[in-house]
Amino acid sequence: MSERKSIVLRLDPKKLKALEKWAVDEFRSTNGQIEYILDEALRKAGRYKGNREDGMEGKQEKVD
C-alpha cells in the first residue's frame, strides 16, 4: 500500500453537508468521495495518469 498523507481541509458547512450526502448516495465515505472527485478532476485536466486503483483501495470499478 502506498503512503498516505493527511491534510486539513476547510469547507463551508453547506458544501460539506452536500458532499456528505453525495458520498452516502454513492456508498462512499466523505474522504473517499473527496478522493474520487479529485482523481476524476486530475484525470480530466490531464494532470494525473496513475492507475485507477491508485488511492482507491477497497473500491471496485465497473469494467465494460
Using one digit for the tens of pLDDT, what is the confidence trace for 5-43? 999 999 999 999 999 999 999 999 999 999 999 999 999
Phi, psi for 33 (deg, rounded to 5): -65, -40
pLDDT at 52: 62
Longest Cα separation, the chain? 37
pLDDT at 60: 44
Q: What is the rounded distance in angstroms from the CA atom of residue 59 to the CA atom of residue 53?
A: 8
- Per-domain residue ranges of the chain: 13-44
Nearest to 2, CA basis, from 25, 30, 29, 35: 35
